Amino acid sequence: MKPLNIGMLGLGVVGRGTWKVLNDNAEEIARRAGRNLQITSVAVRDEDKARQWLNNDVHVTTDGLSVVRDPNTDIVVELIGGEEEAFDWVMEAIAQGKHVVTANKAMLANHGNEIFAAAHKKGVMVAYEGAVAGGIPIIKAVREGLAANRIQWIAGIINGTTNYILSQMRAYGVTFDEALDQAQELGYAEADPTFDIEGVDAAHKLALLASMAFGIPVQFDKVHTEGISSLASEDIVHADRLGYCIKLLGITRRNGEGIELRVHPTLVPTDSLLSNVEGAMNAVLVEGDVVGPTLYYGQGAGDLPTASAVVADLVDVTRLHSASPDHRVPHLAFQPHALSDVPVLSMAQVESAYYLRLRVHDRPGVLSDISRLLADAGISIGSMFQQPYGDEQADIIFLTHQAVEGDVDTAISQIQALPFVLSEVIRLRVEALL
Ligand code: NDP
Ligand code: HSE
């Protein structure tokens, strides 16, 4: 059978990984796919750089649209990153009736609903396993493996760069900036690493996961997003003392009539599964009503792990390319006409346990005043400790039991106004999970 021709947009970290895997494992891949897959053209910005990696049979150009429109291109693999140009080229590929494989979560989080609607109408596939959690086949798991379940929640470490930074800071005491430099050198970070450290990349991925888990449209704009750039190293130390470690988690959960959708630094118990996920590894917990909790673990970033996901998509597309579009797995797991409009909850409606830290004048009555305000807001204290700061001040750290975030907001603003409170009240969320 004639090989399928791949037109690739981008030959960076993931593009080169994909080129390598398709060559190194060509025979095994063809045995699975049923035919050979070959990269016939590549679009980049710097042609000379790209030619160092490719053989002479591959056409190299700076004109991405020519790759997309080439009648010999059967599948377009989009690996340039960014939003707008990638979006235009992917939409053009769909308009040309071509299947697309992409690892671009920024594009899908912002334009996924439009892209998937266009692909559905045209009867083509847009596959995106590499867009969430690198080499972990989490999309396949949620979309197909757990299809019998009403999914209750998903929580996970879904950004390799921030997990690498937090691990390096905690284990080796390296600075935030040093750890970020290392993550960039290793190819984990986004072209703009603020996407990683401010939680935006994790929010992109969470929006896609929530859509597949609950059958809702992709709603990146509704994800509450906090990163790790303002995380104080003293909170990492205090958390450790309390038996927790801090991870940047993406969490989405059914809660009453709505869906929680949030990314933030989170204290998880040091003996929990997630706390032992180190470096650029990712781990995603998915709780289904039928199966119970399930865990998916693996390399969440980097050239070969991501290429593993991209090539798996290429195999899927090859196998299904001649199937009737109605017989393919829906892009967002649920049939497009069956998506639901269940609301995304505001953070005030979210329920969690909390870590609170504040500096106070160390004098009689301070603790009882703070405890009373917490109690008045219906918040129960699980544990606390106090650490002297100089002769007359102290840092107080509380762990609360489960509470509603709106009540915690109320208590914090009242505590903040107390005359003996000398610092901003730092609030981090605490999740037990598994
Ligand atoms: P890189 O920055 O390493 O590579 C981007 C590639 O795209 C380069 O070859 C670049 O060309 C090319 N490119 C960019 N803009 C254009 C353009 N306008 N026209 C033609 N070529 C262009 O990115 P990554 O490989 O790291 O990431 C690619 C995608 O995969 C992103 O969407 C990213 O979010 C996603 N991803 C990345 C992971 C990772 O671990 N790195 C993991 C999972 C997903 P040139 O080299 O000539 O500049
Ligand atoms: N920058 C991303 C990360 C790449 O660090 O997880 C993988 O999506």
Per-residue CA distances from 313 to 75, 77, 99, 350 (Å):
11, 10, 11, 35
Give the tens place of pLDDT for each residue, 50-74: 999 999 999 999 999 999 999 999 9
Distance 8 CA to ligand 1 centre (A): 11
pLDDT at 323: 84
**pLDDT value at position 322?**
82
Inside any domain, residue 336: no
Predicted pLDDT at 257: 85
- Out of 136, 196, 208, give the residue to mutate to test ligand 2, the one with the largest number of ligand atoms within 8 Å of its CB: 196
CA 96 to CA 372: how far, in whole Å?
65
Pocket of ligand 2 (CB under 6 A): 134, 159-161, 188-190, 196, 201, 300-301
Closest atom, ligand 1, to C-alpha of 46: 47
Ligand showing the shortest atom-to-Cα distance for residue 65: 1
- How far apart CA 292 and CA 294 sit, in angstroms, is 7
Strand order through the sheet with 99-102:
59-61, 37-43, 4-9, 75-78, 99-102, 126-127
304/70 Cα distance (integer angstroms): 27
Are 307 and 245 part of one and the same domain? no
Ligand located closest to 300 CA: 2
> In this structure, which ligand is nearest to the CA of 187?
1
- Residue 281 Cα to ligand 2 midpoint, Å, equals 10
Bridge partners, residue 38, by sequence: 5
Q: Confirm whether 368 is domain-assigned.
A: yes
Q: Can you say how many angstroms the Cα of residue 169 is from the centroid of all Cα atoms in its chain?
A: 21
- Could you give the 3-state DSSP secondary structure of residue 314? helix
Long-range contacts of 404-407 (CB under 8 A, 24+ apart): 404/348, 404/349, 404/350, 404/351, 404/378, 405/347, 405/348, 405/349, 405/350, 405/351, 405/352, 406/348, 406/349, 407/377, 407/378, 407/379
Closest CA to 339 of 182, 246, 210, 228: 210
* R_g over Cα of the chain: 24
CA 70–ligand 2 middle distance (angstroms): 31
Torsion, Cα of 185, 186, 191, 195 (10° steps): -110
Q: Which of 190, 198, 263, 281 to mutate to test the pocket of ligand 2 (most atoms within 8 A of CB)?
A: 190
Please report, for residues 66, 189, 278, 296, the alpha-carbon distance to residue 300 in angstroms, rounded to integers and kept in the order given: 32, 11, 11, 11
At position 112, the amino acid (one-letter code) is G
Residues 167 and 241 grouped into a single domain: yes
Q: Report the C-alpha gap between 273 and 102 in whole angstroms.
A: 30
Does 346 reside within a domain?
no
Q: What is the rounded CA–CA span in Å between residue 340 and residue 345?
A: 15
Considering the domain architecture, whether residues 45 and 58 belong to the same structural domain is answered as: yes
**How far, in Å, from the CA of 166 to the mean position of ligand 2?**
14
Q: Is 54 in the pocket of ligand 1 (CB under 6 A)?
A: no
- Verify that 157 and 281 share a domain, yes or no: yes
In this structure, are 173 and 236 located in the same domain? yes
Q: Please tell me whether residues 200 and 280 are part of one structural domain.
A: yes
CA distance linking residue 68 with residue 92, whole number of Å: 7
> What is residue 211's predicted lDDT score, i.e. its pLDDT?
98
Is 124 found in the same domain as 155? no
367 and 264, same structural domain? no
Q: Assess whether 109 and 169 both reside in one domain.
A: no
The whole-number average pLDDT for the span 162-168 is 96
DSSP E strands, 55-150: 59-61, 75-78, 99-102, 126-127
Smallest CA separation from ligand 2 atom 7, residue: 301
Domain match, 31 and 92 both: yes
Question: What does the pLDDT read at residue 42?
Answer: 98
For a pocket test of ligand 1, which of 9, 21, 66, 80 has the largest count of ligand atoms closer than 8 A to its C-beta?
A: 80
Distance CA 187, CA 33 (A): 29
Q: Is the CB of 305 under 6 A from ligand 1?
A: no
**342, part of any domain:** no
Average pLDDT, the chain: 96
State the chain's maximal CA–CA distance in angstroms.
Answer: 83
Which ligand approaches the C-alpha of residue 166 most closely?
Answer: 2
pLDDT band at 92 (very low <50, low <70, confident <90, very high): very high
Active site residue 205: yes
Please identify which of the residues 140, 205, 222, 247 carries the catalytic annotation.
205
Q: Which atom of ligand 1 is nearest to the CA of 80?
A: 7
Q: Is residue 45 part of a domain?
A: yes
In a domain, 340, yes or no: no
Rounded to whole angstroms, the Cα distance separating 245 from 242 reads 9
Note whether 55 and 75 are same-domain residues. yes
Nearest-CA residue for ligand 2 atom 4 is 301
Res 107 pLDDT > 80: yes
Tell whether 343 is covered by a domain: no
Provide long-range contacts, Cβ within 8 A and 24+ apart, for 165-170. 165/197, 165/228, 166/228, 166/236, 166/245, 166/246, 166/247, 166/248, 167/278, 167/279, 169/233, 169/236, 170/236, 170/240, 170/245, 170/246
- The model's pLDDT over 357-412, given as tens digits with 9 standing for 90+, comes to 999 999 999 999 999 999 999 999 999 999 999 999 999 999 999 999 999 999 99
CATH number at residue 383: 3.30.70.260
Number of structural domains in the chain: 3
The residue among 367, 93, 112, 106 whose CA lies nearest residue 216 is 112
For residue 170, what pLDDT is reported?
A: 87
Q: Mind listing the pLDDT tens digit for each residue in 11-45?
A: 999 999 999 999 999 999 999 999 999 999 999 99
pLDDT at 434 over 80: no
At 326 the pLDDT is: 86
Question: pLDDT digit string (tens) for 210-266?
Answer: 999 999 999 999 999 999 999 998 999 999 999 999 999 999 999 988 999 999 999
Give the CATH number of the domain where residue 223 resides. Answer: 3.30.360.10
Q: What CATH number is attached to the domain comprising 311?
A: 3.40.50.720
Residues 269 and 386 in one domain: no
* 23 inside domain: yes
Nearest alpha-carbon partner for 49 in 14, 12, 17: 12
Identify the CA nearest to 90 among candidates 112, 109, 72: 112
**Token pair recorded at residue 382:** 């699980």
How far is 257 from 51, CA to CA, in rounded Å? 54
Q: What is the pLDDT of residues 296-350, one digit of tens each?
A: 999 999 999 999 999 999 999 999 988 888 889 999 999 999 999 999 999 999 9
CA of 83 to the centre of ligand 1 (A): 11
Pairing of strands 426-430, 351-361: antiparallel
CA of 161 to the centre of ligand 2 (A): 6
- What pLDDT is stored for residue 433 in this prediction? 84
Given pLDDT bands bounded at 50, 70 and 90, which one contains residue 112?
Answer: very high
Question: 158 in ligand 1 pocket by Cβ < 6 Å?
Answer: no
Residue range of the domain that includes 360: 351-430
Which 3-state string (H, E, C) describes 32-54?
HHCCCEEEEEEECCCHHHHHCCC
